[in-house]
Structure 1
Amino acid sequence: MGYNNWNNFNNHNNYNHNNHCGNNHSQMQPQQHCQQKPIVMPAVVHPPKCNVTHSMQEYIVPEVHPSHTTHVNQSVYKHVHSYPHSQDQVAGAHSEHYHCPPGQQYGNNCNRRW
C-alpha cells in the first residue's frame, strides 16, 4: 500500500471510528468498542515475477552413409610371339664314274662315262 493510500486509510478510519456508532468515543465503555466494517482498498498490483521453465525432448535422427566397393578382376592376356628358326645341314654326295684308258690312272684323259 503506497504512502498516500495509507494516510487516506488512516484519516478515513479515524473519521469513521469517531462518528460511526453515533457516539463520541469518549462516552463508550472501555470494553465496548464499536465494531467497524473493514474498508476494502483498491488492489495494489505489483509487477509480475517472471519464471521461465525449459523442457527438452530428445529426437534421434538416423543418418545413413552407405558405401559400396566393386572389386574388378582384370585378366590380361599377353601374346608373346616367337619366331623359332631351325637349321639343317645336309651333306650332299654324289658319285662320278670315269673310265680311263689302259695304263693311265686318275688323269685328265679319263672320260666320264655315265
Structure 2
Amino acid sequence: TIRRLREISVKRRSNGVIDIEIEADAFCHNMVRSVVGALMSAGSGRTSVLEVRKALSGQRNENAYKVQAPQGLTLIKIAYPAKSKLAAQAELTQRTRTLDDN
C-alpha cells in the first residue's frame, strides 16, 4: 500500500514531553508507531537521520525500526479532503506498489 507522508514535525516542550505531529494522505496499521520508532532511533543515535529519511521515503525498509507501544501516543485530529475531492483521494489511497516500483 502506498502512503504519502506530507509533514512530520518534532518538538520538545520545556517539561521534556516530545510532540510529534505526522500528516499523511492516509495511514496503514501501526504506521504512526513505526514512524515514531524510526524517529526515536535517530534521536538516540542508533541510526542516522539520513537512514530514517530513506526509510520514510520508501528507499529503505521502514520495518527495520521498532514499532513503539501505543502508550503516550494521542490522536489529536483527523482531517478529510473537501467532499469534491473525496473520491479522488480514496482512489489514491487504495493504490499498491508492485515489485517493479522499487
Q: With structure 1 as the length reference, what TM-score do the two structures score?
A: 0.20
- Compare the two structures and name the one with the higher strand fraction: 2
Rg: which structure is higher? Answer: 1
Relative contact order (alpha carbons < 8 A, sep ≥ 6): 1 or 2 greater? 2
Instruction: State the TM-score, normalized to the length of structure 2.
Output: 0.21
Higher helix share: 2
